[in-house]
Amino acid sequence: MSDFRQFSEESIRKIQRDHSRLKAMSESIAAHQAVERRESDVVRTVTGYTSTNAANPTYPNDGNTYVVRLRDYYFTETAGTRSKTQAGNGTRSIVARTWDGSSLVENTPVICDLVYCVGKGYRWWIRQVITGDIFRVKNTTGSTLSAGAVLELTTSVATPTRYAIVLNGIARAGVDPPCAVLLADAANNEIVDATTSGVCVANVDIIDADNTHARVVPGSTQLRGDFGGWARIIYKPTGTGVKSCVLHVGETRTVRRKARATTTVTDGSTGSADVFIDGSARGNVTVHYNWMTGAGNIANGSDLFIEYFHDEDKWVVVGAECAT
């Protein structure tokens, strides 16, 4: 084995310099590889809601960076239990940004991911879930509502964007209003998910066991069973009364039915008629003779065509066998 002392001092210094450069290169490569491994990797995930804190006491009305007040969400580990997620008091907060540039209204529930940004360090990013026909509705009825309640949509809580739509909801009051079914329980002034179309579950006051539809009753937040209306009943339990039903909401077509008068239908007023489905009488409804009037009353027992008009929330006579 060669004696190290046989090398000149200059050679030793060169070896030391080469060793230092190799060590630095190795450390740089290792650091770069570590950055590549952690780039865009989620380091931590937390849950909370957009809010304010002492450093940022005013909620921003523009931009896409927010204070997120954290909550320690939890649930009781009992299979089959259905309840809203419980939460702590939200004393801690972070600052996070929506990755797509969208704006959020205050008190929007969010999930935030801590991600390493190359050259910038760690940042919190709001993970937003966008689902086709699901958006947010604020319960402004003054009462606590259960999931499945139906609300008329009115003004916007904040300027809508493609990814952030929050509308105020009231008990039906307007003429042919847009409506939505709440997908979660909502205290007064609470903002929750809702839908205007598609399949959902809601309580319906079934009037007749053969009801095929549910309509939005003026002044109410509960759907009412009928043979035409805003929601098509896909499944309902047997019997009458308030039932938990599977619905396809957002029906906008005018439903026409065959019917037979069971009372005199007064010209310019109303009467009663049995609705026929598949050739059999399935239930009795009030019919309105308020269009193409002036020909006289329609006799009891006359065959009719009736249509359900959403804007009027009425069955209207559009054809009759005869008038007296």
Q: Which residues contact 117 (CB under 8 A, 6 or more apart)?
A: 39, 123
Contact status, residue 137 vs residue 190, Cβ threshold 8 Å? no
Q: What is the pLDDT of residue 39?
A: 54
Q: What is the pLDDT of residue 158?
A: 77
Q: What is the pLDDT of residue 139?
A: 95
Distance CA 175, CA 309 (A): 11
pTM to 2 decimal places: 0.64
Q: What is the pLDDT of residue 266?
A: 96
Report the pLDDT averaged over residues 118-136. Answer: 77
The per-residue pLDDT for range 257-280, each reduced to its tens digit, is 999 999 999 999 999 999 999 899
The per-residue pLDDT for range 222-241, each reduced to its tens digit, is 999 999 989 999 999 999 99
CA proximity to 321, closest of 306, 304, 300, 307:
304
- Residue 116 clears pLDDT 90, i.e. is over it: no
Residue 82, phi then psi, degrees to nearest 5: -120, 115
Distance CA 199, CA 232 (A): 9
Q: What is the pLDDT of residue 119?
A: 76
How far does CA 115 lie from the centroid of its chain?
A: 28
Residue 311 confidence class, pLDDT cut points 50, 70, 90 = confident
- Residue 283 clears pLDDT 80, i.e. is over it: yes
Write down the residue that tokens 């509502």 correspond to: 145
Q: What is the pLDDT of residue 32?
A: 58
Integer angstrom CA distances of residue 258 from 75, 252, 315: 51, 19, 11
- Residue 163 clears pLDDT 70, i.e. is over it: no
CA proximity to 168, closest of 132, 126, 133, 140:
140
- Per cent of the chain over pLDDT 90 is 49
3-class SS string, 5-53: HHCCHHHHHHHHHHHHHHHHHHHHHHHHHHHHHHECCEEEEEEEEEECC
Distance CA 308, CA 315 (A): 4
- Residue 143 clears pLDDT 70, i.e. is over it: yes
Q: Which amino acid is at 300?
A: N
- Per cent of the chain over pLDDT 70 is 88
Contact status, residue 222 vs residue 203, Cβ threshold 8 Å? yes
Q: What is the pLDDT of residue 3?
A: 59
Q: Which residues contact 90 (CB under 8 A, 6 or more apart)?
A: 48, 49, 51, 69, 70, 71
Residue 162, phi then psi, degrees to nearest 5: -60, -35
3-class DSSP state of 228 = coil
Q: What is the pLDDT of residue 44?
A: 87
Report the pLDDT averaged over residues 286-312. Answer: 92
Distance CA 253, CA 242 (A): 25
